[in-house]
Amino acid sequence: MKEACSDAGTLLIPLSGELDHCRSNLIREEIERKILHSPKAETLLLDFSQVSFMDSSGVGMIIGRYKTMKKRGGNVCAQNLRPHVDKMFHLAGLHRIIRILPEQEENA
Amino acid sequence: MTNQIELAFPSLPENEAFARMVISSFLVPLNPTLSVLSEIRTAVSEAVTNCVVHAYPLHPGKILLRALSQDGFIQLEIEDYGQGIDDIDKAMKPFFSSKPEDERSGMGFALMQSFMDHVVVQSTQGQGTKVIMTRLIKLDDLSDEKEDSGKNDKRTS
């Protein structure tokens, strides 16, 4: 089955560390720049496998990137959420606007 | 057993992680599950971030973090001497933020309330804010995994 998030129009951005206010401020511009430099990407795919913590500031930063993608008619997907990050996604309602991809096997 | 700490630090963004680390270390002897630890760490992170972003918007100021642990009962206080909150009820409404343009999600207080049993906010404009949060660590909240810490002492009352 072809996943909407696994085609060539996907910009994959791996996130890492603890997504709090401090770190979100540091990486916001960088992610925004990558999005602007990939004008053909319809999907922003955020990989959370290396994210050990996220609070409401991280949520705000993710919503900001969702807005950027939505403005250009794109969408955002997320993958490899650890339990705490998954809990934050659901409490914030992020799962309603961001599709969470099923656990990825090692890419063949 | 009663344990108590008090820590003062400036409201620098990098101290958000520091405060979480301190609380993690403080709670380790109670042997909470990773899930409980993450929830309490998040509540502390939200309170400290509020001080960094809202209490002292222009220059860093002093944050006081107090933690008390007594027979599985945890009380955390995060106090600042910053600008204060003019309408606490409004500030605590989920998804309300006084700074939405900064991509603030407005979820800070709602998360503190979700992850702690009880949250009290005291604030005086121009003088500062104190957040007092409590949570009882129940038997279900204790980790069965002993290999992590090398300890197998359960909480005793």
Tell me the pLDDT tens digit for each residue of A57-69. Answer: 999 999 999 999 9
- DSSP-derived secondary structure letter, B93: S
Cβ neighbours of A83 in B, within 8 Å: 34-35, 38
**Whether the predicted pLDDT of B147 surpasses 50:** no
Establish if B21 touches chain A: CB-CB under 8 angstroms: no
Q: What's the pLDDT score for residue B145?
A: 65
Indicate which of B52, B103, B104, B114 best probes the interface with A, i.e. most A CBs within 10 Å of its own CB: B103
Separation of alpha carbons B122 and B114, rounded Å: 19
DSSP annotation of A6? S
Can you list the positions of beta strands (E) in chain A? 10-19, 43-54, 75-79, 99-100
ipTM over 0.90: no
**What is the pLDDT, as a whole number, of residue A1?**
41
Contact B49 A88 (CB under 8 A): no
Picking from A22, A59, A88, the nearest residue to B16 by CB comes out as: A22
% chain A with pLDDT above 90 = 86
Q: What is the pLDDT of residue A106?
A: 52
pLDDT digits 0-9 by tens, B15-66: 999 999 999 999 999 999 999 999 999 999 999 999 999 999 999 999 999 9
CB neighbourhood size of B72 (10 A): 18
Average pLDDT, integer, range B119-142:
95
The answer, for A83 touching chain B at a CB cutoff of 8 Å, is yes
- CB contact, 8 Å: B54 with chain A? no
Q: Is A108 helix (H, G, I), strand (E, B) or coil?
A: coil
Give A30-36's long-range contacts (Cβ < 8 A, gap of 24+): A31/A65, A32/A65, A32/A68, A35/A11, A35/A65, A35/A68, A35/A69
Phi and psi (nearest 5°) for B147? -70, -25
Is B32's Cβ below 8 Å from some Cβ in A?
no
Question: What pLDDT is stored for residue B141 in this prediction?
Answer: 87
The CA distance from A68 to the nearest CA of chain B, in Å, is: 12
Neighbours of A58 (CB within 10 A): 25
Q: Is the pLDDT of residue B67 over 70?
A: yes
CA distances (Å), origin B61, targets A57, B82, B106, B128: 20, 7, 22, 11
How far apart CA A52 and CA B41 sit, in angstroms, is: 12
**pTM of the predicted protein model:** 0.89
The stretch A74-81 carries a mean pLDDT of 97
3-state class (DSSP) for residue B86 = coil
Minimum Cα–Cα distance from B53: chain A residue: A21
**What share of chain B has pLDDT > 70, as a percent?**
92
Encode pLDDT of A20-34 as tens digits: 999 999 999 999 999
Q: Which helix (H) or strand (E) holds B16?
A: helix B14-27
